[in-house]
């Protein structure tokens, strides 16, 4: 299943089309503005994806001369915090667009000439896949910036498919070993490797993510005012940040309104809740008499096939995600209501593990046993052991190229500008 050069070129093109859509939607003033201190100006993301492509595909894989070595430091995410990026002498929008187009031409030429079995870095097209995923990840980050942006709506998409209220309750995941992670997925990143066996006791997992209605019940029950449900750290954060509801919710009489990509509307009860931090998810779970899944529990629910005992790429099998399986790729600019993807359910009846909302787990960000940096420590290793929780499954903003049953995301437990939700688990009585 090594992707051939035409597939790789098409994937590069698809990520660039998404980048263009997100950055052509607003004017140049808007591109250089900072919409939140948590985010870069969009024009930074724009040139940064090109700079990473230059570093890895043009210079490293291609062995070519630098295009713009002078700007490397501006687009090195470790050199300047997001809040400081607007003050940098960044390329302006026209320069950034020219730069990334120039890099892309060279990268495609490198792709044309390279032998994909030459070095580990390019085996199976890995370096190209890494760059495709990197751009798609920044496209999701840019979508989160759009969600924080004030002003008139500029993005549109078809609404997600309808839900099905019969999809409710919990599924039993039997105890026993399963294979977590992968050795064989050609574009899997270093943190998804190596494959290793994990033995878990049986558990019950929610068949769907927690909905807006479910989360509103926690608020109505006084959940934000009762320290019993919160960890000490979570309660301290709730107090300090003055949390009273998910980000982008605001009260309207006895109901809730929600602001999404510049449009305000009543909350849709059956939609998965989104824009909650880890601490809010954890508090809800405790209030509900449950807990958050560990990362291993989440992956077993998503990949383990009870028929064969094998771990698959997705809950529905090994077929690539189609529109019938999961809400991915910014096809819809909202999570889909619970039950919208029966074809995407796991054999044990767990729905919407992939797409819709990233799901918080209780696991701290770490390397698997036998982890080896590949190809650079700054992607994931430097964050191991930090104040980060693992998120799984991807959101409506995540592209299929950057989402699979093994894919691991992480963020600080207080972050909620990302498209984050959750589901709960429970031990057997």
DSSP string, 20-59: HHHHHSS-HHHHHS-S-TTS--HHHHHHHHHHHHIIIIII
Neighbour-count burial for 146-168, b at 16+ CB within 10 Å, e otherwise = bbebeeeeebeeeebeebbeebe
Residue 141 found at the interface with ligand AVJ (CB under 6 A)? yes
375: enclosing H helix or E strand = none
Contact 190, 381 (CB under 8 A): yes
With CB under 6 A as the rule, give the number of residues binding ligand AVJ.
7
Is the four-CA dihedral 324, 327, 329, 332 of positive or negative sign?
A: positive
Find out whether 48 is annotated in a ligand binding site: yes
Site residues for ligand AVJ, 360-379, by CB under 6 A, read 379
Confirm if 412 and 390 have CB atoms less than 8 A apart: no
* Closest CB to ligand AVJ among residues 40, 346: 40
Segment interacting with ligand AVJ (CB under 6 A) among 131-139, 178-186, 200-208, 218-226: 131-139
Closer CB to ligand AVJ, residue 341 or residue 407?
407
Residue in 92, 103, 113 with CA at minimum distance from that of residue 65:
103
**Nearest distance, CB of residue 422 and ligand AVJ, angstroms:** 17
Least Å distance between CB 15 and ligand AVJ?
Answer: 13
Among 34, 137, 311, 346, binds ligand AVJ (CB under 6 A): 137
- Contact window for ligand AVJ (CB under 6 A) among 111-119, 134-142, 282-290, 331-339: 134-142
Nearest distance in Å: CB 62, ligand AVJ: 21
**Bridge partners (DSSP) listed for residue 173:** 203
Asked whether 354 and 326 are in contact (CB, 8 A), the reply is yes
Alpha-carbon span 296 to 284, nearest angstrom: 21
CA distance linking residue 51 with residue 85, whole number of Å: 15
- The residue written with tokens 């991807």 in the block is 394
Q: Is 330 in the site for ligand AVJ (CB under 6 A)?
A: no
CB closer to ligand AVJ out of 68 and 82: 82
Nearer to ligand AVJ, 138 or 237 (CB): 138
CB of 338 to ligand AVJ, least distance (A): 25
The SS3 assignment for 109 reads: helix
Cα–Cα distance for residue pair 143/147, rounded to 1 Å: 6
Nearer to ligand AVJ, 22 or 207 (CB): 22
Q: How far apart are CB 262 and ligand AVJ at their closest, in Å?
A: 23
40 or 179: CB nearest ligand AVJ: 40
Map the footprint of ligand AVJ across residues 379-398, applying CB under 6 A. 379
Beta carbon nearer to ligand AVJ, 78 or 254: 78
134 near ligand AVJ, rule: CB under 6 A: yes
Please, what is the minimum distance in Å from the beta carbon of residue 138 to ligand AVJ? 6
User: At its nearest, how many Å lie between ligand AVJ and the CB of residue 130?
Assistant: 10
410 binds ligand AVJ (CB under 6 A): yes
Burial of 313 (0-12, 13-18, 19+ CB in 10 A): buried
Q: Give the nearest distance from C-beta 399 to ligand AVJ in angstroms.
A: 12
Q: Looking at 255-354, which runs of residues are DSSP E strands?
A: 255-260, 263-266
Choice between 211 and 417, CB closer to ligand AVJ = 417
Which DSSP symbol is given to 321? Answer: P
Q: How far is the CB of 405 from ligand AVJ (least distance, A)?
A: 16
Q: Known binder of ligand: residue 392?
A: no
Collapsing DSSP to helix, strand or coil, 426 comes out as: strand
By beta-carbon distance, which residue lies closest to ligand AVJ? 137
Three-state DSSP class for residue 141: helix
Taking CB under 6 A as the criterion, the residue among 23, 327, 409, 420 binding ligand AVJ is: 409
Query: Is position 327 an interface residue for ligand AVJ (rule: CB under 6 A)?
Result: no
DSSP 60: I
Q: How many CB atoms lie within 10 A of CB 240?
A: 9
Give phi and psi for 425, each to the nearest 5.
-130, 170
Q: Dmax of the chain from CA atoms?
A: 64
Distance of alpha carbon 18 from alpha carbon 363, whole angstroms: 31
> In this complex, which beta carbon is closest to ligand AVJ, that of residue 179 or of residue 409?
409
Q: Report the nearest approach of ligand AVJ to the CB of residue 206 (Å).
A: 24
Binding residues for Fe cation: 48, 134, 138
Binding residues for gamma-L-glutamyl-L-cysteine: 82-85, 411, 415
Binding residues: 48, 82-85, 134, 138, 411, 415
Q: Which residues bind ligand AVJ (CB under 6 A)?
A: 134, 137-138, 141, 379, 409-410
């Amino acid at each position: 299943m090594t992707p051939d050069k035409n597939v790789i070129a098409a994937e590069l093109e698809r990520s660039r089309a998404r980048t263009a859509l997100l950055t052509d939607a607003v004017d140049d003033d808007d591109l250089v503005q900072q919409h939140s201190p948590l985010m870069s100006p969009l024009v930074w993301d724009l040139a940064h994806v090109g700079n990473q492509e230059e570093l890895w595909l043009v210079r490293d894989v291609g062995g070519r001369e630098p295009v713009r070595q002078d700007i490397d430091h501006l687009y090195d995410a470790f050199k300047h915090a997001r809040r400081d990026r607007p003050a940098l002498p960044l390329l302006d929008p026209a320069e950034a667009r020219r730069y990334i187009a120039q890099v892309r031409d060279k990268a495609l030429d490198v792709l044309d000439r390279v032998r994909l079995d030459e070095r580990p870095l390019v085996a199976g097209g890995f370096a190209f896949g890494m760059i495709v995923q990197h751009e798609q990840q920044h496209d999701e980050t840019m979508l989160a910036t759009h969600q924080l942006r004030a002003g008139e709506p500029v993005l549109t998409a078809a609404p997600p498919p309808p839900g099905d209220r019969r999809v409710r309750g919990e599924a039993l995941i039997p105890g026993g070993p399963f294979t977590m992670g992968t050795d064989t997925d050609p574009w899997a990143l270093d943190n998804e490797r190596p494959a290793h066996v994990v033995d878990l006791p049986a558990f019950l997992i929610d068949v769907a993510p927690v909905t807006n209605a479910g989360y509103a019940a926690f608020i109505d029950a006084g959940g934000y005012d009762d320290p019993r449900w919160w960890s000490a750290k979570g309660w301290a954060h709730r107090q300090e940040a003055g949390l009273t509801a998910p980000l982008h919710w605001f009260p309207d009489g006895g109901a809730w309104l929600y602001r999404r990509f510049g449009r305000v509307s009543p909350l849709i009860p059956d939609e998965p809740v989104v824009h909650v931090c880890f601490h809010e998810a954890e508090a809800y779970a405790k209030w509900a008499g449950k807990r958050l899944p560990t990362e291993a529990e989440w992956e077993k629910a998503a990949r383990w096939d009870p028929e064969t005992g094998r771990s698959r790429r997705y809950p529905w099998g090994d077929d690539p995600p189609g529109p019938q399986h999961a809400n991915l790729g910014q096809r819809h600019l909202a999570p889909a209501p619970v039950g919208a993807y029966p074809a995407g359910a796991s054999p044990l009846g767990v729905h919407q593990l992939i797409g819709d909302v990233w799901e918080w787990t209780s696991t701290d960000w770490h390397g698997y046993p036998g982890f080896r940096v590949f190809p650079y420590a700054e992607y994931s290793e430097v964050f191991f052991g930090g104040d980060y929780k693992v998120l799984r499954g991807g959101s409506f903003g995540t592209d299929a190229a950057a989402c699979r049953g093994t894919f691991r995301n992480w963020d600080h437990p207080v972050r909620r500008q990302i498209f984050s939700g959750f589901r709960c688990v429970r031990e057997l009585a």
